[in-house]
Copies of this chain bind each other. A is one copy, B any other.
């Protein structure tokens, strides 16, 4: 679970720097969002936020997650199921990639120094500079049963 206070501070800085405002909705969404390690879709996030603040609209959550992404508080992920998911940025901002179980839908994280290093070499060999990457591995994690 990401550290709420750290994310909040990061968000406040972004708001201040861009002349944006602190609102009850943004606070509530951040609290819900920071309180999970799952990769939540907007619908799931909306549902959870509405539990502690009914009346919040989809568009607000949508725009807030774009804001969080710009503020370096959230990562946007698309795993190809047609849903955009959001994940709190780790406090140390360490990168990681994903293992997705095609049976149960669970999402695991991995980070491998060897692969990271090799990527940089591959780009360098071609005279390219890496901007970002994603490395998703679809697996069966549970031996066949849910």
Number of interface residues of A (CB under 8 A): 31
Complex CA distance for A102 and B130, rounded to whole angstroms: 10
- Give A residues with C-beta under 8 Å from B: 78, 80, 99, 101-102, 108, 110, 112, 114-115, 118-119, 122-123, 126-141, 143
B108 near A126 with CB under 8 A, answer yes
Q: Given contacts A78-B80, A128-B99, A128-B141, is CB(A110)–CB(B136) below 8 Å? A: no
Interface majority SS (helix, strand, loop, mixed), chain A: strand
Q: Which residues of chain B are near A130, meaning CB under 8 Å?
A: 137-139
A107 to chain B, nearest CB (A): 12
Cross-chain pairs A/B with CB under 8 angstroms, 5 sampled: A114-B118, A115-B119, A130-B139, A133-B136, A134-B134
